[in-house]
Chains A and B, each alone.
Chain A
Amino acid sequence: MSALVFAVPSKGRLMDQTAEYLAGAGLKLRKVGHDRGYRGEIEDFAGVEVAFVSASEIVAELNRGHAHLGVTGEDLVRENIANAAERVTLLQPLGFGRADVVVAVPKCWLDVDEVADIAAAAVAFRREHGRPFRVATKYVNITRRFFSARGLTDYRIVESLGATEGTPAAGTADLIVDITTTGATLAANGLKVLEDGVILRSQANLVASKMAAWPPETKKTCGRLLARLNISATAV
């Protein structure tokens, strides 16, 4: 039938916090079948099929229209969907999973305090080292859009899938774009956030897909679910 597919994080803190959030509205997630399965339902709430998937996969499911609703970070939505506004709706920030996506440079760069300073430093850097600055990040698209809006062109992205903060000290990158919650890890690695370097204040969001099929029955189920969560349903 036309069940509402609701994708929730399958592991880690984000899974626990999502469960807590739903429990606050009296909604309890339950796995269906064996304990390690990836399908579930909401107890005493008909018409919803819960899919347990990783947070980044949730974005892909929403983008493809395989899920109607999902809980995932805004950073992942902005990074992984090129024209996000046309493909998904961010219904509600959920107050957990907070992380800022920031531009950070070595603290010893006393002359670089704003994003615009990177461009000036890049000219001298290219002259001395014969290459542009390398920017380590897993947020390739967010970085590109942010720098391009600020006219910074002379840099190269180095994709980094872990321990990004360590890359400037290791010499594999010159600066980074990464998530931070307290800034402590950045500081421990000799880095500082630029004054105008906060690209996105991200947190977990309840997200609806515009790409999924929304027959009346599914829409109705969604309306009931959102009402329980105290979210205005007009956005869907």
Chain B
Amino acid sequence: MSAPPPANFEALADQARTLLAVLIAGGHEAVSPPIIQPAGVFLDVLGEALRGRTYVFSDLSGEELCLRPDLTVPTCRLYLERHPQAEEPAHYCYHGPAFRFQPAGADAAHPREFHQAGIEAFGGEDREDADARTLTLVLVALQQAGLPSWKLRMGDLGLFAALLEAAEMPERWRRRLRHQFWRPDAFRAELRRLTTSPARCGDHLPRALIEALDPDDPARAESLVAEALDKGGIEVIGVRSVAEITEGMLAIAADAKAKPLRPSTAALIEGYLEVKAYADQAPAKLRALLDRPQGRFAAAIDAFERRGALLKESGVDLSEVPFSGEFGRNVAYYSGFVFEVLALSLGAASPVAGGGRYDGLLRAVGAPRDVPAVGGAIHTERLLAVVGGKA
């Protein structure tokens, strides 16, 4: 494994000052959350997958800690320490190191230790306005740091959530599709299964019991499940109760009796994921998916359009910014607007900046409810490599 080359410390520090000055002038208070973070919070938010990319360790007291893999979650925690009720809006900016294990070995493009400069805006009720301001400020900071040109990409995960609401199907199917959304292959397989034969066909599932269960009579279902366990001589062990097992069995029974998802509904969902257009033309394409979009989906398209207009007012040209229904499918905590800034010389695998909306994250970290939140971060080593002419 080759060690990353020594960073150009002074140039990085100069660049950091420039970036922070822009972010502070943009109305964000500079904060410096701890580098060492409790691992549990990250595990709750990102799951055990975190361990694959993060330096997780136990200290001598046995507490499980990690070196922060980014600054978003630490900044959320800092906000909640100051405002446990999350009742006040706040705008923070930061510059500092973050750490990631690189399974294929660390190199200059994928260092295990790097610096992020970024902003987070919490509690802004006007979401489109906060989204547009965030992206605009990140772009201004990049420009001030000397980045002459860039390529922007964007998506909106709120559109998908709203489309799913509009599609006719049982809520448990929506939950399954939402769950698989992050993995395109599994998502397609699930969609195909729901469209062809939603009934489960595992050999070990208790057929007779599934036949006997009536989804509309949960009270009787529990005694039927208890009876089946008893007859089979199966001891109930563990924390999960018979009531919980019954709930799962009822979902299986409901699927066994359910009509498959209509092909037109599956086509609608697939059609959405295939939408590719320049951002200023995307709303028209999205509206064309449904005869007459209503409710949340119509509102989500309107919001997308309004955000676009606000960005245009701030001088961000959307006519050549590609929008894709699929974009943003890789970070599980984003919930709405997502963006990436690419430098032409670095390629799509190494964006110089990225960010998005994550309205559910603060609650996962301990806030009493969902809190509107949007942020963006700049990968400073990459930025320096571009403006310093090394990439």
Contact = CB atoms under 8 A, between A and B. Distances in A.
B239 A124 contact: no
Contacts of B288: none
B206 A110 contact: yes
Contact-residue bracket for chain A: 35 or more
Contacts of A82: 103
A110 B209 contact: yes
A174 B240 contact: yes
Interface stretch (A1-9, A59-67, A90-98, A150-158): A150-158
Interface string A157-197: 10000000000110100100000000000000010100100
Contact-residue bracket for chain B: 35 or more
Nearest to A169: B237
- Which of A123, A129, A151 has the most B CB atoms < 10 Å from its CB? A151
Closest 7 CB pairs between A and B? A111-B248, A153-B47, A113-B202, A169-B237, A168-B238, A190-B237, A108-B236
A16 interface: no
A120 interface: yes
Contact of B103 (A83, A117, A128): A83
Nearest to B250: A111
A156 B43 contact: yes
A147 interface: yes
Contacts of A108: 229, 234-238, 240, 242, 245
A109 B244 CA distance: 9
27 contacts: A82-B103, A108-B229, A108-B236, A108-B237, A110-B225, A110-B248, A111-B247, A111-B248, A113-B204, A117-B248, A121-B248, A128-B244, A129-B239, A144-B51, A147-B48, A148-B48, A148-B49, A151-B180, A151-B183, A153-B48, A153-B332, A156-B43, A156-B48, A169-B237, A174-B239, A190-B237, A195-B204
B229 A110 contact: yes
Nearest to B180: A151
Nearest to B43: A156
Contact of A169 (B179, B209, B238): B238
A170 B194 CA distance: 37
A106 interface: yes
A168 B237 contact: yes
A112 interface: yes
A155 B46 CA distance: 10
Interface string B62-79: 000000000000000000
Contacts of B48: 143-144, 147-148, 153, 155-157
Looking at chain A's contact residues, is the secondary structure mostly helix, strand, loop, or mixed?
Answer: mixed
A113 B180 contact: no
B331 interface: no
Contacts, number: 109
A169 B225 CA distance: 20
A119 interface: yes
Interface of B: 43-44, 46-49, 51-52, 103-105, 172, 175-176, 179-180, 182-183, 186, 200, 202-206, 209, 225, 228-229, 234-242, 244-245, 247-249, 251-252, 332
B222 to A, nearest CB: 12
A148 B52 contact: yes
Interface in A79-132: 82-83, 106-114, 117, 119-121, 123-125, 128-129, 132
A145 interface: yes
Given A110-B205, A113-B200, A124-B247, 15 more contacts: A106-B237, A108-B229, A108-B245, A110-B206, A110-B248, A120-B172, A120-B176, A143-B48, A145-B52, A148-B48, A153-B47, A153-B48, A155-B48, A156-B48, A195-B204
Nearest to B332: A153
